[in-house]
């Protein structure tokens, strides 16, 4: 790959963002849309600057609750995935249950969580956790369950115990699956937190958007949207980088 | 008593009938035997019985005088696909058995440099010198298979089980690896059980070729191969060798066409 094409590839996402903003600004101006329905890009940017203080505070709230829920999801997802993936019986027993659980809209859990834990950070953390642990479980379990039987024979004939096979082969082999699922899980965790905040909180970006919307301050609502997606993008890229670092051997085709 | 001793062994995986049936044979220590037969004749089942990965449903299997009751640690195995771990270098792949099998497992940390020496030496003898730090996906198929054979031999097994190890390679690489295996065996004289579809391979390498029937697999013939050793590759072009391969070939042909052998 030449340096020129590499630069072009690196710049492409920024150009796409810029193009979207331009189209957005142009559309709003051209059709003269009132700002309380659809604020222009410049108005949103202005809101971002004007309300930088409160936005910063609420984003921090959203960020740490999301990370807490995500951390919980990773821990539980990893353990559950390991247990389910290393036993054929458990895999078959638990999989339908997990699929059923995953199909429940997580917003339906929020009222229950509020009854149990009250309004605030706890329901947000738990919603983020509930929504993000599933892909981790499925990926880790699949990574373990699809182990080549010949490879297992090679180790078993040496007298390897189940734990040996898990540590030497199963775990490293499922790492690419695990890191791939982290990228999905982190964005889902943001969804969970914000959903919970809109329904049951008085802090966080979700709450900020909700209250700004009820006052018809649409530019602030859009500012909130942009902050959420920016946070999710940064975290996604962070985990993509981590994935590349940890499991480079699995991405050899893309070097 | 023979090193590997099968006495009227049968194995049925389920109620659909025996995978292999009434097999009696004995393999001497240091002998090189090959199993040939039509596909699905239970050759791989035989391997599982021999290594203790599976127990027989009838008869008895004894290895080194002891009845086989679980996985045998004196075995090394290699299969058609090299199955190297992509996150380990070639050297670390070859070292893997030493991290698992006793008594090396307990000594692994202490004797690591010594073990690495063994692995490098073994890799050198199969022509992989200089590739120790490469990852498996940086090697060609033939090189991967060489490394796989090294992995099977690193813990100095007394019994080497090879399940169609060269089947996925091109003809030239295959013949090259025959010679690699021949030289390793000449030098160390472990016992080899080679399962293959390739009659030339069987005749070139083995002391005894066992011909198996269709499922349920039975031993139809044990043919001793008495070409003098060491055998040069050119031997495979001589008339006596070709005649032998043809005789084996027609035997297998009979089995494939004649359903009346046993259904």
Q: What is the pTM of this model?
A: 0.76
Number of other residues whose CB lies within 10 A of the CB of residue B8: 12
Strand B32-36 relative to strand B191-195: parallel, antiparallel, unpaired?
Answer: parallel
Question: With contact defined as beta carbons under 8 Å apart, do B90 and B131 qualify?
Answer: yes
Residue A124 CA neighbour count, 13 Å, CB half? 28
Asked if B177 contacts B142 with a C-beta cutoff of 8 angstroms, the reply is yes
Quick check: B95 and B113 in contact, CB under 8 A?
no
- The full DSSP string for B57-87 is SEEEEEETTEE--S--TTEEEE-SS----TT
Kindly state the DSSP code that residue B38 receives in the 8-state scheme.
S
CB A220 within 8 A of CB A54: no
Interface residue B86 vs chain A (CB under 8 A): yes
The reported pLDDT for the residue numbered A86 is 83
Nearest CA in chain B to A152: B83
pLDDT at B263: 40
Per CB-CB distance under 8 Å, the chain A contacts of B78 are 154
Cα–Cα distances (Å) from A137 to A31, A86, A91, A251, in that order, read: 48, 12, 11, 22
Which helix (H) or strand (E) segment holds residue B177: the answer is helix B171-188
pLDDT band at residue A1 using 50, 70 and 90 as cut-offs: low
3-class DSSP string for chain A: CCHHHHHHHHHHHHHHHHHHHHHHHHHHHHCCCCCCCCCCHHHHHHHHHHCHHHHHHHHHHHHHHHHHHHHHHHHHHHHHHHHHHCCHHHHHHHHHHHHHHHHCCHHHHHHHHHHHHCCCHHHHHHHHHHHHHHHHHHHHHHHHHCCCHHHHHHHHCCCCCHHHHHHHHHHHHHHHHHHHHHHHHHHHHHHHHHHHHHHCCCCCHHHHHHHHHHCCCHHHHHHHHHHHHHHHHHHHHHHHHHHHHHCHHHHHHHC
Query: Distances from the Cα of A251 to the Cαs of A181, A237, B154, in angstroms?
Result: 15, 16, 29
A73-119 tens-digit pLDDT = 999 999 999 889 888 888 889 889 888 988 988 888 899 999 999 88
The answer to whether B5 touches B223, Cβ cutoff 8 Å, is: no
In the prediction, which pLDDT does A171 show?
87
> pLDDT at residue A186 above 60?
yes
Q: What is the pLDDT of residues A191-244, one digit of tens each?
A: 999 999 998 888 999 999 999 999 988 999 999 999 999 999 999 999 988 888
User: Quick check: B155 and B188 in contact, CB under 8 A?
Assistant: no
The answer to whether B54 faces chain A, any CB pair under 8 Å, is no
Q: In the predicted model, what is the mean pLDDT of chain A?
A: 89
Return the ∠ at Cα A180 (arms to A176 and A181), rounded to 5°.
120
Q: Label residue A245 exposed, middle or buried (CB < 10 Å: 0-12, 13-18, 19+).
A: exposed
CA of B92 to nearest chain A CA: how many angstroms apart? 11
Q: Taking CB atoms and an 8 Å cutoff, what residues of chain A touch B79? A: 150, 153-154
- What is the b/e burial string over B9-27, where b = at least 16 CB atoms within 10 angstroms of the residue's CB? bbbeeeeeebbbbebebeb
Q: Which two tokens stand for residue A20?
A: 């979207």
Give the residue, B33 or A170, on which the prediction is more confident.
Answer: B33
For the ranges A53-57, A162-166, B97-101, which has the lowest average pLDDT? A162-166
Place of tokens 């010198």: B129
ipTM over 0.90: no
Q: Cβ contact (<8 Å) for A252 and B137?
A: yes
Longest pairwise C-alpha distance within chain B: 60
Chain A hits for B83, CB-CB cut-off 8 Å, are: 148, 150-151, 154
Q: Is B137 on the interface with A (CB under 8 A)?
A: yes
Interchain CB distance below 8 Å, B52 and A154: no
Q: Are B137 and B86 in contact (CB under 8 A)?
A: yes
pLDDT at B95: 93
Confidence at residue A102, expressed as pLDDT on a 0 to 100 scale: 86
- Supply φ then ψ for residue A105, to 5 degrees: -65, 130
The DSSP symbol for B25 reads: E
Closest CA–CA distance from residue B45 to any residue of chain A (Å)? 13
CB–CB contact B71 A252 (8 Å): no
- Give the distance from residue A8's alpha carbon to the nearest chain B alpha carbon, in angstroms: 29
pLDDT band of residue A254 (cuts 50, 70, 90) is very low
Spatial distance between the Cα atoms of A214 and A46, rounded to a whole number of angstroms: 20
Note down pLDDT in tens along chain B; length 263 residues.
788 888 888 888 887 778 888 888 899 999 999 998 877 778 778 888 888 888 888 888 888 888 888 887 788 888 888 888 888 999 999 999 899 887 888 888 888 899 999 999 989 988 888 999 999 989 998 899 999 999 998 988 889 999 888 888 888 888 988 998 999 999 889 999 999 989 999 999 999 999 988 878 888 889 999 898 889 999 989 999 999 999 988 888 887 776 544 44
**Distance to chain A for B121, nearest Cα, Å:** 21
Q: Which of B77, B148, B152 to mutate to test the interface with A (most CBs of A within 10 A)?
A: B77
* pLDDT for the residue A147: 81
**Mutual angle of helices A121-145 and A52-85, in 10-degree steps:** 40
Q: Go through the domains of chain B in sequence order and give each one's CATH number.
A: 1-67+207-263 (3.40.50)
- A247 reaches B (C-beta below 8 A): yes
Site from A157, A246, A252, A254 to mutate, B interface, most B CB atoms within 10 angstroms: A157
In this complex, which of A150, A156, A175 lies closest to B79 when CB atoms are compared? A150
Interface test with chain A among B87, B144, B164, by most A beta carbons within 10 Å:
B87
Mean per-residue pLDDT for A9-38? 91
Euclidean distance between CA atoms B185 and B179, whole angstroms: 10
- Please judge whether A154 and B72 are an interchain contact, meaning their C-beta atoms are less than 8 angstroms apart: no
In this prediction, residue B262 carries a pLDDT of: 46
pLDDT value for B261:
47
Q: What is the pLDDT of residues A198-208, one digit of tens each?
A: 988 889 999 99
pLDDT at A255 over 60: no
Mean pLDDT of A13-27: 93
All structural domains of chain A, each given as residue ranges with its CATH number in brackets, are 55-250 (1.10.3720.10)
């Amino acid at each position: 790959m030449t340096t020129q094409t590499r630069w072009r590839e690196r710049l492409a996402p920024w150009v796409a963002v810029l193009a979207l903003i331009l189209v957005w600004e142009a559309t709003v101006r051209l059709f003269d849309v009132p700002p309380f329905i659809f604020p222009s890009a410049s108005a949103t940017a202005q809101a971002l600057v004007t309300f930088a203080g409160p936005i910063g505070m609420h984003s921090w709230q959203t960020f740490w609750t999301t990370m807490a829920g995500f951390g919980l999801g990773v821990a539980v997802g990893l353990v559950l995935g390991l247990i389910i993936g290393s036993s054929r019986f458990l895999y078959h027993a638990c999989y339908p249950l997990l699929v059923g659980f995953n199909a429940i809209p997580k917003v339906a859990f929020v009222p229950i969580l509020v009854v149990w834990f009250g309004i605030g950070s706890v329901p947000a953390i738990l919603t983020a956790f509930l929504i993000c642990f599933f892909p981790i479980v499925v990926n880790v379990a699949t990574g373990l369950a699809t182990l080549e039987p010949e490879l297992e024979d090679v180790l078993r004939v040496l007298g390897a115990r189940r734990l040996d096979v898990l540590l030497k082969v199963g775990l490293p082999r499922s790492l690419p699956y695990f890191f791939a699922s982290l990228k999905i899980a982190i964005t889902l965790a943001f969804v969970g937190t914000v959903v919970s905040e809109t329904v049951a909180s008085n802090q966080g970006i979700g709450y900020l958007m909700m209250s700004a919307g009820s006052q018809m301050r649409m530019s602030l609502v859009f500012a909130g949207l942009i902050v959420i997606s920016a946070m999710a993008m940064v975290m996604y890229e962070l985990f993509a980088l981590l994935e590349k670092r940890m499991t480079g051997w699995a991405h050899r085709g893309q070097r | 008593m023979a090193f590997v001793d099968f006495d009227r062994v049968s194995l049925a995986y389920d109620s659909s009938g025996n995978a292999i049936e009434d097999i009696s044979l004995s393999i001497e220590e240091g002998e090189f035997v090959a199993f040939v037969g039509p596909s699905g004749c239970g050759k791989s089942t035989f391997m599982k019985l021999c290594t203790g990965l599976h127990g027989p449903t009838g008869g008895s299997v004894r290895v080194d005088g002891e009845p086989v009751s679980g996985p045998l640690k004196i075995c090394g195995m290699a299969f058609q696909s090299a199955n190297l771990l992509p996150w380990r270098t070639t050297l670390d792949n070859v070292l893997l058995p030493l991290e698992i099998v006793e008594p090396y497992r307990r000594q692994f940390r202490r004797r690591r440099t010594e073990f690495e020496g063994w692995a490098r030496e073994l890799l050198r003898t199969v022509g992989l010198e200089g590739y120790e730090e490469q990852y498996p996906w940086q090697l060609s198929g033939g090189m991967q298979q060489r490394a796989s054979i090294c992995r099977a031999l690193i813990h100095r097994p007394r019994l080497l089980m090879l399940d169609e190890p060269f089947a996925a390679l091109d003809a030239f690489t295959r013949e090259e690896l025959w010679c690699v295996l021949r030289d390793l065996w000449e030098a160390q004289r472990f016992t080899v059980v080679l399962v293959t579809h390739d009659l030339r391979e069987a005749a070139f390498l083995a002391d005894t070729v066992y011909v198996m029937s269709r499922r349920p697999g039975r031993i139809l013939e044990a043919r001793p191969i008495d070409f003098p050793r060491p055998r040069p590759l050119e031997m495979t072009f001589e008339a006596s060798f070709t005649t032998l391969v043809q005789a084996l070939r027609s035997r297998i042909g009979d089995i494939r066409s004649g359903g009346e052998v046993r259904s």
